[in-house]
């Protein structure tokens, strides 16, 4: 039983809702696509980057003479050589007026502030020649103690990450609902509350770990430059590179060819992109840089990394009264594109789906001698969701209530939408109860609870737990005026244009640049329905600033919601223009024309009519068209949403915990998500799966670990555990559909949902399995070691890297950095 | 430099290579076989998987000189006479790829898996491809694709064995009218 074949209708089938197989696949399953690293240009030179092996030091001297003599080496540049022209990696999100930004040179000039920071660039005839010369560059470092622990970093008298700054705090961001007029006085609400639960959660540092390593190619042509880059944001990159390097924007063309995943990790202006442009400009030759995986894990931006102090207040009956959140958010050593904005974006999502009368949020952005953090799938919202969904479970335990019952008591009811939250957001639509009911059925809840009871009563060494996450997120980034009010440096609109070709084929140009999401397929479905043309007749163009000159690119689950809407609005304009031409050619009044299934016909006159594809030919010939219009039915549109969209869902995880070994295993995972209208169910399901995998990976596997000297000890895929097929369960996913009222498609966004929702469901499930054994918390990722420690030693399982463990690389190599700190000599942990 | 003679996707090459040259670099840089990609430097990700003398190898873990007198098949040589391999078709049909970067290696590893086990269960597929990392799909549709291809290659239209999980086509049935209803 397939939907597609069984639904026979007279009219052409609607494309929206159809499980179209992807247009993109043909080139990807045959190995015939263009990744940036595939580019080969005549005379191309290759770059390699000499990187700091220490976390914090002054650069005393750099001797590049031996490298310059190395066979095949054309040039070697240090930070000092590039200092006049490299500017600073831009930060587009000054979240507070007094935010401190230390500046971020692409190549370090005087000091290095994290392991892996670029200190010199080698240009050579071949990739191997460039790589071979790296070890010939001799750098003398005057070592400084590294700042690695956020709680120590904000303490009085702490060591400084940047010694020219007064402290390690970049900014202090506050949202107070009482002050904003969206809620009651938080302190008073806590003072009046019957029950207050306070917790400290660690949302560990993660690495986006896109599969395609970053790569950039620059070709100079006179005073013009073409850059190919494995980036999510060719349009943003073009503006930023122009501002940073002084290469005029109109002399710079950026192309993102097929890009192998990003997950926020390629939402960046990378030092290496600046370097490649500067070197190509200096030498007048095409250059290429492609990173190794180790470089990628060590130097591409990381994500998450917050310490969260959460206080939640309620009455005895479980009605929540107030929420207070204080964050320490690790910026790393520098501020990159939206580093400071990530926790600020999350600020508004901690109240989640619950009707808190009072809310206060405070966040310190903290510098440490680690690679900068920035966007990673969800960017602020997974952290918020984790904290609130964990806190709701903690409150339920304190009250002796069922975790789901507590949620139900406090969540926004279906009839209350649109609902303005205590954080001032207007949630658009949804039904949390229905999604929850469906998820309970999907997972077989009652049976699992029964099994849990049996295992508890029999003291089974393998205990079973069930965890919930009833989440929402804000998507469709973003209303430009709201971004402005949050001090973001750009807007959140999206652009599209439609070109009607003489043969009736259609070119759709989108400013939303995909990197695996399937825009070419989904946009074709949108346009096929709007214009009534065959799906196959639509070609979607993107990712090249010369072809698609305007755009804000792909992140924040925005593409369909904002970019897709721009496409639909452009199609509306095409139809409006074509209507005038059709009226002229059919010798009818525009008012008498109806447009259906791609044809204009005169109302009440069967058999007459003209297809929009024929009109495209007619205006190409332009022999006969109305006098007051241009001979074209092409159109473009820019869409700026008025509000965010708010997907939601209920995720339930059933987890087995082996109490003898600490091994955890997901027994079943079910989710029911409302992402609004579904344009392509296949793509939506795929996005859910991928998001779930990454959210589960945060709970169970992934953590960027630094040793006491500031070395990343998870710098390869041997140590940084991106899960394999064998590490993940089967997902049972479903949907409810409440169309988003804020856009004509009704879509809410799906790219981040699984990643945002799943993490707390998994941790809550593990805790539900062992809470009766006295375990109150287990730090992520839930390694067997941590789970075992939490069971047998108490506490939350502690840091992953402690002296003597493999994860703690510094214990046996305390002198790698040449400095012995208190922590390193004692085998302290991070 | 060392002289090697190797047959790649049906064409014989006679080339000088540095002894340290990895097979994947030889394929990409000397032969222009850029369909095979490099995803890591520790042989964990499997993106570079090709067949050497009929068996899957991670071509970042094989020296080019080890392929001397050998026969290599890359993703570019998998389709025969202009028609896709059943595994390629199944990845498309089951939406077993998103960004597509891991796909060449994943397909080549999966073909090799079916050579050893023509009718794998869900668990056997998951374990069989655990040397290949995908960051986009969560693997579920890859598992479906491998089982679908297995069915086709066994010559029957038999449903994938073992897990009893629904195929995407069945999932669509539920979702599509839902959406149409919400829109109208």
Report which DSSP code applies to A156. Answer: T
Asked if omega into A418 is within 30° of 0 (cis), the reply is yes
Distance of CA A503 to the CA centre of its chain: 39
pLDDT tens digits for range A208-222: 999 999 999 999 999
d(CA A647, CA A437): 17
pLDDT tens digits for range A734-753: 999 999 999 999 999 999 99
The size of chain B, in residues, is: 184
Residue B141 located in a structural domain? yes
The size of chain A, in residues, is: 830
- For residue A332, give the nearest of A295, A306, A296 by alpha carbon: A306
A344: left (phi over 0), alpha (psi -120 to 50) or beta: alpha
pLDDT of residue B156: 61
Residue B180 located in a structural domain? no
Burial (Cβ within 10 Å: 0-12, 13-18, ≥19) of residue A815: exposed
What is each CA distance from A300 to A114, A206, A244, A291, A673, in whole angstroms?
12, 11, 19, 10, 31
Probe site for chain A from B94, B170, B176 (most A CB atoms < 10 A): B176
User: In which band, very low, low, confident or very high, does the pLDDT at A800 lie, cut at 50, 70 and 90?
Assistant: low
- For residue A434, give the nearest of A133, A229, A738 by alpha carbon: A738
Paired tokens of A464: 């079973």
Backbone angles phi, psi at B155, to 5 degrees: 95, 0
Across the interface, of A19, A687, A692, the residue whose CB is closest to B172 is A19
Residue spans per domain, chain A: 36-144+209-299, 493-639
Q: Are B173 and A1 in contact (CB under 8 A)?
A: yes
d(CA B151, CA A73): 54
A413: left (phi over 0), alpha (psi -120 to 50) or beta: beta
User: In which band, very low, low, confident or very high, does the pLDDT at A581 lie, cut at 50, 70 and 90?
Assistant: very high
Tell which wins on pLDDT, A514 or B160.
A514
d(CA B52, CA B57): 6
**Structural domain of residue B154, as residue ranges?**
86-170
pLDDT of residue A41: 98
Chain B residues with CB under 8 Å of A37 CB are 34, 37-38
| Mean pLDDT confidence for A257-272 | 98
User: In which band, very low, low, confident or very high, does the pLDDT at B166 lie, cut at 50, 70 and 90?
Assistant: very low
| Mean pLDDT confidence for A676-702 | 98
pLDDT of residue A825: 38
Boundary (domain end) residue, out of B35, B56, B77:
B77
d(CA A663, CA A769): 12
Boundary (domain end) residue, out of B77, B107, B131:
B77
**Which strands make up the sheet holding A359-367, listed edge to edge?**
A169-176, A359-367, A320-332, A303-314, A195-206
Is the per-residue pLDDT at A813 higher than 80? no
Residue B178 located in a structural domain? no
Is the per-residue pLDDT at A308 higher than 90? yes
Across the interface, of A21, A259, A728, the residue whose CB is closest to B99 is A259
Paired tokens of A694: 């990454």
Probe site for chain A from B21, B49, B101 (most A CB atoms < 10 A): B101
Residue B16 located in a structural domain? yes
- For residue A273, give the nearest of A243, A230, A235, A221 by alpha carbon: A230
Is the per-residue pLDDT at A78 higher than 70? yes
pLDDT of residue A13: 87
Q: Are B106 and B150 part of one and the same domain?
A: yes
Is the per-residue pLDDT at A727 higher than 90? yes
Residue B184 located in a structural domain? no
| Mean pLDDT confidence for A188-206 | 98
Is the per-residue pLDDT at A163 higher than 70? yes
Chain A residues with CB under 8 Å of B134 CB are 211, 725
| Mean pLDDT confidence for A661-672 | 98
Q: What is the Cβ-side half-sphere exposure of residue B69, based on CA atoms within 13 angstroms?
A: 0
Specify the CATH class of A493-639 in words. Answer: alpha beta
CATH code for the domain in which residue B143 is found: 1.10.150.120
Q: Are B47 and B71 part of one and the same domain?
A: yes
Tell which wins on pLDDT, A239 or A604.
A239
| Mean pLDDT confidence for A617-627 | 97
Tell which wins on pLDDT, A13 or A601.
A601
Chain B residues with CB under 8 Å of A728 CB are 126, 138-139
Chain B residues with CB under 8 Å of A758 CB are none
Across the interface, of B78, B101, B163, the residue whose CB is closest to A211 is B101
d(CA B67, CA A640): 56
Q: Are B115 and B65 part of one and the same domain?
A: no
pLDDT of residue A802: 53
pLDDT of residue A370: 98
| Mean pLDDT confidence for A317-335 | 98
Using the Cβ of A414 and the Cβ atoms of chain B, whether some distance falls under 8 Å is answered with no
Paired tokens of A104: 């971020």
| Mean pLDDT confidence for B87-104 | 98
The interface residues of chain A toward chain B in range 690-709, judged by CB-CB distance below 8 A, are 690-694
Q: Are A527 and A498 in contact (CB under 8 A)?
A: yes
Contact criterion met (CB < 8 Å) for B75 and A30 = yes
pLDDT of residue A5: 41
Q: Are B10 and B37 part of one and the same domain?
A: yes
User: In which band, very low, low, confident or very high, does the pLDDT at A661 lie, cut at 50, 70 and 90?
Assistant: very high
What is each CA distance from B133 to A70, A331, A742, A765, B83, in whole angstroms?
36, 29, 37, 26, 27
User: In which band, very low, low, confident or very high, does the pLDDT at B176 lie, cut at 50, 70 and 90?
Assistant: very low
Across the interface, of A6, A16, A689, the residue whose CB is closest to B141 is A689
Other C-beta atoms lying within 10 Å of the C-beta of residue A432: 23
- For residue A575, give the nearest of A600, A555, A548, A547 by alpha carbon: A600
| Mean pLDDT confidence for A710-732 | 97
pLDDT tens digits for range A474-490: 999 899 999 999 999 99
Assign a CATH topology to domain A36-144+209-299.
Answer: Aldehyde Oxidoreductase; domain 3 (3.90.1170)
Residue B57 located in a structural domain? yes
The alpha carbon of residue B69 is apart from the nearest alpha carbon of chain A, in Å, by 24
The alpha carbon of residue A177 is apart from the nearest alpha carbon of chain B, in Å, by 35
Long-range contacts of A6-11 (CB under 8 A, 24+ apart): A6/B173, A7/B176, A7/B177, A11/A596, A11/A597
pLDDT tens digits for range A551-577: 999 999 999 999 999 999 999 999 999
Q: Are A95 and A173 in contact (CB under 8 A)?
A: yes
CATH code for the domain in which residue B21 is found: 3.10.20.30
By CA distance, what is B79's nearest residue in A? A30
- Three-state DSSP class for A315? coil
What is each CA distance from B139 to A241, A665, B108, in whole angstroms?
37, 17, 15
Is the per-residue pLDDT at A230 higher than 60? yes
Paired tokens of B145: 């694709």
Q: Are B54 and B103 part of one and the same domain?
A: no
User: In which band, very low, low, confident or very high, does the pLDDT at A801 lie, cut at 50, 70 and 90?
Assistant: low
How many domains, in total, are found in chain B?
Answer: 2
d(CA A353, CA A376): 22
Residue B175 located in a structural domain? no
Chain A residues with CB under 8 Å of B133 CB are 211, 717, 722, 724
d(CA A612, CA A348): 45
What is each CA distance from A745 to A15, A40, A493, A639, B173, in whole angstroms?
12, 41, 16, 13, 20
Give the torsion sign (CA, A145, A147, A148, A154).
positive
- Three-state DSSP class for A745? coil
Boundary (domain end) residue, out of B42, B77, B112:
B77
pLDDT of residue A608: 85
Contact criterion met (CB < 8 Å) for A213 and B74 = no
pLDDT of residue B170: 41
pLDDT of residue A12: 76
Residue reference for tokens 């001979």: A631
Is the per-residue pLDDT at A424 higher than 50? yes
Other C-beta atoms lying within 10 Å of the C-beta of residue A98: 8
Is the per-residue pLDDT at A443 higher than 70? yes
The alpha carbon of residue A285 is apart from the nearest alpha carbon of chain B, in Å, by 19
d(CA A536, CA A733): 29
Other C-beta atoms lying within 10 Å of the C-beta of residue A348: 22
What is each CA distance from B7 to A365, A399, B12, B108, in whole angstroms?
56, 70, 4, 17
Residue B17 located in a structural domain? yes
Distance of CA A543 to the CA centre of its chain: 18
Contact criterion met (CB < 8 Å) for B129 and A685 = no
d(CA A671, CA A677): 17
């Amino acid at each position: 039983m397939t939907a597609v074949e069984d639904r026979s209708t007279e009219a052409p089938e609607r494309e929206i809702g159809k499980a179209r197989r992807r247009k993109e696949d043909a080139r990807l399953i045959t190995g015939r696509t263009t990744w940036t690293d595939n580019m080969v240009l005549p005379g191309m030179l290759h770059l390699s980057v000499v990187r700091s092996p220490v976390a914090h030091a002054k650069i005393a001297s750099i001797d590049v003479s031996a490298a310059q003599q190395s066979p095949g080496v054309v040039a070697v540049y240090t930070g000092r050589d590039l200092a006049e022209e490299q500017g600073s990696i831009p930060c587009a999100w000054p979240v507070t007026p007094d935010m401190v930004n230390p500046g971020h040179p692409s190549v370090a000039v005087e000091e290095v502030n994290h392991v892996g920071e670029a200190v010199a660039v080698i240009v050579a005839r071949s990739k191997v020649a460039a790589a071979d010369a790296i070890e010939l560059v001799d750098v003398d470092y005057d070592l400084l103690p590294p700042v690695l622990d956020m709680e120590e970093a904000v303490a009085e008298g702490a060591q400084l990450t940047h010694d020219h700054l007064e402290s390690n705090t970049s900014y202090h961001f506050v949202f107070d609902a009482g002050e904003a007029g969206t809620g009651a006085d938080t302190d008073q609400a806590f003072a009046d509350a019957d029950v207050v639960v306070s917790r400290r959660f660690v949302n560990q540092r993660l690495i986006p770990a896109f599969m395609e390593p970053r790569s950039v190619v620059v070709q100079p042509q006179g005073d013009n430059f073409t850059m190919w880059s494995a980036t999510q944001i060719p349009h943003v990159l073009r503006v930023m590179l122009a501002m940073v390097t002084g290469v005029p924007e109109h002399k710079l063309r950026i192309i993102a060819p097929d890009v192998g995943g990003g997950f926020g990790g390629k939402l960046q202006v990378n030092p290496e992109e600046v370097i490649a442009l500067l070197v190509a400009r200096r030498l007048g030759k095409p250059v290429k840089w492609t990173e190794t995986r180790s470089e990628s894990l060590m130097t591409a931006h990381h994500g998450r990394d917050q310490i969260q102090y959460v206080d939640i207040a309620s009455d005895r009956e479980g009605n929540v009264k107030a929420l207070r959140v204080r964050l320490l958010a690790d910026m790393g050593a520098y501020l990159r594109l939206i580093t400071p904005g990530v926790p600020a974006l999350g600020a508004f999502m901690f109240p989640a789906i619950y009707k808190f009368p009072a809310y206060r949020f405070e966040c310190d952005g903290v510098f440490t001698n680690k690679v900068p953090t920035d966007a990673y799938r969800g960017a602020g919202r997974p952290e918020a969701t984790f904290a609130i969904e964990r806190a709701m479970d903690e409150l339920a335990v304190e009250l002796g209530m069922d975790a789901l019952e507590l949620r139900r008591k406090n969540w926004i009811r279906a009839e209350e939408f649109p609902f303005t939250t205590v954080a001032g957001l207007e949630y658009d639509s949804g039904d949390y109860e229905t999604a929850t009911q469906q998820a309970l059925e999907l997972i077989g809840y009652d049976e699992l609870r029964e099994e849990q009871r049996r295992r508890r009563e029999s003291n089974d060494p393998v205990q079973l737990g069930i965890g919930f996450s009833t989440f929402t997120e804000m998507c469709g980034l973003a209303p430009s005026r709201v971004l402005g009010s949050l001090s973001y440096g750009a807007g959140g609109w999206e652009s599209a244009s439609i070109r009607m070709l003489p043969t009736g084929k259609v070119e759709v140009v989108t400013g939303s640049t995909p990197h695996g999401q399937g825009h070419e397929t989904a946009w074709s479905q949108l346009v096929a329905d709007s214009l009534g043309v065959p799906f196959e007749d639509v070609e979607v163009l993107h990712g090249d600033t010369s072809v698609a000159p305007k755009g804000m690119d792909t992140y924040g689950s925005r593409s369909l919601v904002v970019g897709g809407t721009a496409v639909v609005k452009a199609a509306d304009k095409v139809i409006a223009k074509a209507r005038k031409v059709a009226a002229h050619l059919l010798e009818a009044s525009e008012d008498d024309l109806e447009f259906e299934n791609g044809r204009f016909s005169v109302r009440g006159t069967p058999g007459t009519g003209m297809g929009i594809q024929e009109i495209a030919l007619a205006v190409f010939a332009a022999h006969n068209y109305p006098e007051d219009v241009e001979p074209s039915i092409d159109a473009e549109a820019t869409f700026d949403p008025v509000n965010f969209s708010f997907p939601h869902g209920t995720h339930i995880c059933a987890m087995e915990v082996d109490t003898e070994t600490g091994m955890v295993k997901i027994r079943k995972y079910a989710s029911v998500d409302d992402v609004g209208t579904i344009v392509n169910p296949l793509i939506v399901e795929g996005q859910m799966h991928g998001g779930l995998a990454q959210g589960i990976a945060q709970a169970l596997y992934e953590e960027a670990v630094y040793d006491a000297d500031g070395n990343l000890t998870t710098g390869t895929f041997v140590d940084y555990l991106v899960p394999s097929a064998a590490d993940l369960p089967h997902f049972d996913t479903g949907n409810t559909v409440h169309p988003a009222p804020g856009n004509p498609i009704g879509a809410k966004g799906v790219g981040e949902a699984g990643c945002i929702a799943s993490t707390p469901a998994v941790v809550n499930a593990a805790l539900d399995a062992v809470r009766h054994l006295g375990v109150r918390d287990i730090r992520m990722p839930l390694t067997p070691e941590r789970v075992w420690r939490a069971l047998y030693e108490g506490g939350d399982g502690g840091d992953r890297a402690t002296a003597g463990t493999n994860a703690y690389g510094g214990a046996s190599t305390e002198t790698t950095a040449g400095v012995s700190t208190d922590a390193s000599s004692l085998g302290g942990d991070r | 430099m060392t002289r090697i003679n190797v047959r790649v996707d049906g064409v014989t090459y006679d080339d000088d290579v540095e002894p340290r040259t990895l097979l994947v670099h030889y394929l990409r840089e000397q032969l222009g076989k850029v369909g095979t990609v490099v995803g890591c430097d520790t042989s964990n990700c499997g993106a570079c998987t090709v067949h050497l003398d009929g068996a899957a190898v991670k071509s970042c873990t094989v020296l080019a000189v080890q392929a001397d007198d050998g026969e290599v098949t890359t993703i570019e040589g998998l389709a025969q006479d202009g028609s896709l391999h059943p595994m390629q078709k199944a990845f498309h049909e089951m939406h077993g790829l998103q960004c597509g970067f891991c796909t060449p290696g994943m397909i080549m590893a999966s073909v090799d898996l079916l050579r050893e086990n023509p009718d794998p269960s869900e668990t056997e597929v998951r374990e069989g491809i655990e040397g290949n990392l995908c960051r986009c799909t969560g693997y579920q549709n890859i598992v479906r694709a491998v089982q679908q291809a297995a069915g086709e290659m066994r010559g029957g239209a038999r449903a994938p064995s073992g897990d009893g999980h629904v195929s995407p086509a069945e999932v669509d049935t539920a979702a599509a009218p839902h959406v149409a209803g919400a829109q109208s």
